[in-house]
Amino acid sequence: MFTGIIQALGTIDAIAPLPAGRRYTIGLGALRGRAFNLGDSIAVNGACLTVVELADGRFAADLSNETLAVTTLGGLAVGSPVNLEPALTLADPLGGHLVTGHVDGIGSVEAMDQEGGTVLARFRVPDALARYFARKGSICVDGVSLTVNAVAGATVGVTLVPHTLAHTIMHTYAAGTPVNIEVDLVARYVERLLASDR
């Protein structure tokens, strides 16, 4: 589990082919020097990956063809910046919302409109996911926990404060940028409960 509070910006340092996917070597950025172990989970742009190698401030993770196909990670290249968050521990504050690291779909940036020091961002989510979002609810975009300001069809609006822009890859966004979307865990369970009552 994760909180959607990004702790470091990393970089894709190397990509190697595997028989059924790719191995990514990722620089840990500000997490360099933190104690990680083989088998630990680290969310990369909101997708939970397993550490299979550790060396020189970097970790490697094996991505299956399925992961490459259903997330934006398949479109990354060497040098691409990525959001990083280690797995939540029971001692950590829950500063965002509960995030699983299981990407539900790929959306895209519709607009990034400046308003004072903030940015009003609009994301187009897959039509099948639109029902999960509500005003003042939560959305996870590329691993970042955000509060929903508005919903219009399959478009979700949020406000990005300067800290979020400076400490995540969101400062690189432009119209059309693909993004990983994870719906609020609570919404998923509410839907399941309502379906079982029918």
Residues 160-180: what's their mean pLDDT? 97
Q: What angle do CA 148, 104, 9 make, to 5 degrees?
A: 70
pLDDT at 187: 77
pLDDT class for 158, splitting at 50, 70, 90? Answer: very high
Residues 173-198: what's their mean pLDDT? 83
**Residue 193 clears pLDDT 80, i.e. is over it:** no
CA distance 173 to 9: 15
**Residue 195 clears pLDDT 90, i.e. is over it:** no
pLDDT in tens, 21-68: 999 999 999 999 899 999 999 999 999 999 999 999 999 999 999 999
pLDDT class for 10, splitting at 50, 70, 90? Answer: very high
pLDDT in tens, 81-96: 999 999 988 777 777 7
Among 143, 150, 131, 149, which residue's Cα sits nearest to residue 190? 131
The whole-angstrom distance between residue 46's C-alpha and the CA centroid of its chain comes to 2
pLDDT at 38: 97
Q: What is the model's pTM?
A: 0.94
CA distance 187 to 132: 6
pLDDT class for 198, splitting at 50, 70, 90? Answer: low
Residues 169-190: what's their mean pLDDT? 92
Among 60, 69, 29, which residue's Cα sits nearest to residue 180? 69
Among 149, 139, 121, which residue's Cα sits nearest to residue 188? 139
pLDDT at 94: 75
pLDDT class for 185, splitting at 50, 70, 90? Answer: confident
Residues 6+ apart with CB under 8 A from 162: 117, 118
pLDDT in tens, 103-155: 999 999 999 999 988 999 999 999 999 999 999 999 999 999 999 999 999 99
SS3 49: strand
Domains of the chain with CATH codes: 8-86 (2.40.30.20), 105-196 (2.40.30.20)
Strands of the sheet containing 53-55, edge to edge, are: 47-50, 41-44, 81-86, 8-18, 21-27, 58-64, 53-55
